[in-house]
């Protein structure tokens, strides 16, 4: 990654996407280490974390993670996940945060020099291009080393820099914990992430 000491850096973390990429690579994210690493690379002005939270739950396992992030230097952007039944009759959750990420990145492009997107979603290619037209540099963090790869080739090519998450594993990762429950299917990726974190 190419950063300059005077770079004003903003992080945009698609929580569910980062969780899935790290799981595919066999480690968990240590968010304190992640924040510390980017503080060393420039002037960190904002670290956004995006996640959907299941509505109508008295207790959601992601709430402790969200609370920890909120008290430890992250700006939390959340919304309610919507429940639906898939074609096999299983309960699933939907909570896309793409619009929230896009709006915040475009706003932060006015003040940040270097924007770091933790997502491999190809839908962000046009967003990265728009931010670059404002004269800002964009680094995308995801992985090509999982099976299947977790990042879009178009997004990777559009970014000024692409960092494979596997290369950061030794810096911001920790070994995976065994999930305490056997039936994980009904939880959102964000809820699985939170449960694995604590």
pLDDT in tens, 26-81: 999 999 999 999 999 999 999 999 998 876 665 667 788 889 999 999 999 988 87
* 96/85 Cα distance (integer angstroms): 16
With CA atoms as reference, report the closest residue to 112 among 6, 1, 2: 6
What residue ranges define each of the domains in the chain, with the CATH number in brackets? Answer: 8-197 (3.40.50.1010)
Q: Which pLDDT score, from 0 to 100, does residue 49 have?
A: 97
Which is more confident, 103 or 187? 103
Distance of alpha carbon 150 from alpha carbon 106, whole angstroms: 24
């Amino acid at each position: 990654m190419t950063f300059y000491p005077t770079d004003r850096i903003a992080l945009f973390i698609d929580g569910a996407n980062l969780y899935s990429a790290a799981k595919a690579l066999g480690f968990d994210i240590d968010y304190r280490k992640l924040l510390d690493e980017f503080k060393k690379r420039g002037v960190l002005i904002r670290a956004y974390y995006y996640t959907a939270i299941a509505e109508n739950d008295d207790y959601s396992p992601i709430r402790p993670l969200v609370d920890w992030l909120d008290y430890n230097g992250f700006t939390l952007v959340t919304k309610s996940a919507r429940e639906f039944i898939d074609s096999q009759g299983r309960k699933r959750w939907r909570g896309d945060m793409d619009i929230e990420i896009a709006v915040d990145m475009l706003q932060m492009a006015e003040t940040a020099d270097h924007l770091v997107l933790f997502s491999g979603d190809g839908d962000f290619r046009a967003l990265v291009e728009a931010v670059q037209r404002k004269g800002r540099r964009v680094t995308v963090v995801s992985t090509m080393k999982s099976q299947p790869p977790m990042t879009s080739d178009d997004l990777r090519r559009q970014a000024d820099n692409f960092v494979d998450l596997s290369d950061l594993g030794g810096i911001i990762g920790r070994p995976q914990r065994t999930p305490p429950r056997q039936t994980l299917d009904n939880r959102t990726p964000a809820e699985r992430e939170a449960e694995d974190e604590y």
